């Protein structure tokens, strides 16, 4: 279950703020910093710092949906251990986690972002999670939370390129000529027949 959209860092902060305030949602570091435990974030200031950092990998988990994240230890190879002076990291993984990702800029354009989670069918067909772990997830609750997040992004967005929402800060900067959007192979500048305003 996923939605592709266009968002600046300002817009993505609003997506994370909405996740943090969704009832029962927990935000955590799915990949720890080397040799440190995974952090759980309860305050917006912590989440804001995590999403601004280059070495942090935040994720969200809807606690009432079950599938509590499980810890896995990863040992770095010898070369990485020598380079970092660290032995490894821990990964927290759950089939009920929600990820927000942003592509890097493409050829000087703002590339798309995404919000995604597993569907039950997809998780059972393609994930590495055990059937026992997948059975612990309330897929209906997870689907409802994802639908709410997708609705939040769509309703907040004053425009879309093709079917992908363009969030407010991204659209303002796009309309003002400060940025172009990466239209999967070509730059899209304002105005464009590909962009439909609400």
> Is 39 part of any domain?
yes
> Is 115 part of any domain?
yes
Q: What is the domain extent for residue 59?
A: 6-197
Neighbours of 177 (CB within 10 A): 9
What are the strands, taking DSSP E only, across the chain?
Answer: 2-5, 25-31, 40-41, 57-62, 70-75, 88-93, 97-102, 113-117, 159-161, 164-166, 181-182, 187-188, 195-197
* pLDDT above 90 for 116: yes
According to DSSP, the β-strands at 57-62 and 88-93 are unpaired
Return the pLDDT at 171.
Answer: 97
Residue 130: C-alpha distances to residues 31, 61, 105, 124, 125 (Å): 20, 18, 36, 8, 11
> Is 57 part of any domain?
yes
> Is 1 part of any domain?
no
> Is 47 part of any domain?
yes
Q: CA torsion angle for 151, 7, 112, 30 (degrees, to 10)?
A: -80
Return the pLDDT at 50.
Answer: 83
When divided into structural domains, the chain yields a total of 1
The pLDDT confidence band at residue 55, using thresholds 50, 70 and 90, is low
**70-110 pLDDT tens trace:** 999 999 999 999 999 999 999 999 999 999 998 778 889 99
The residues, ordered by sequence, that sit 6+ positions from 66 with a Cβ below 8 Å of its Cβ are 96, 136, 137, 138
Return the pLDDT at 198.
Answer: 85
* pLDDT above 90 for 129: yes
> Is 36 part of any domain?
yes
> Is 148 part of any domain?
yes
């Amino acid at each position: 279950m996923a939605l592709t959209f266009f968002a600046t860092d300002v817009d993505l902060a609003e997506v994370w703020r909405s996740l943090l305030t969704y009832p029962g949602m927990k935000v955590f570091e799915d990949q720890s910093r080397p040799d440190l435990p995974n952090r759980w974030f309860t305050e917006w200031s912590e989440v804001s710092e995590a999403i601004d950092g280059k070495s942090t990998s935040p994720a969200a988990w809807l606690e009432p949906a079950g599938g509590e994240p499980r810890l896995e230890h990863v040992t770095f190879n010898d070369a990485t251990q020598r380079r970092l002076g660290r032995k490894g990291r821990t990964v927290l993984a759950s089939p009920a986690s929600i990820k927000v990702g942003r592509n890097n800029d493409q050829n000087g354009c703002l590339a798309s972002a995404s919000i995604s989670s597993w569907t039950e069918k997809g998780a059972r067909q393609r994930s590495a999670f055990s059937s026992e772990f997948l059975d612990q997830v309330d897929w209906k609750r997870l689907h409802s939370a994802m639908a709410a997040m997708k609705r939040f992004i769509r309703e907040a967005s004053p425009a879309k390129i093709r079917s992908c929402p363009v969030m407010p800060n991204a659209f303002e900067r796009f309309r003002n000529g400060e940025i172009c959007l990466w239209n999967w192979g070509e730059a899209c500048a304002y105005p464009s027949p590909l962009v439909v305003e609400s």
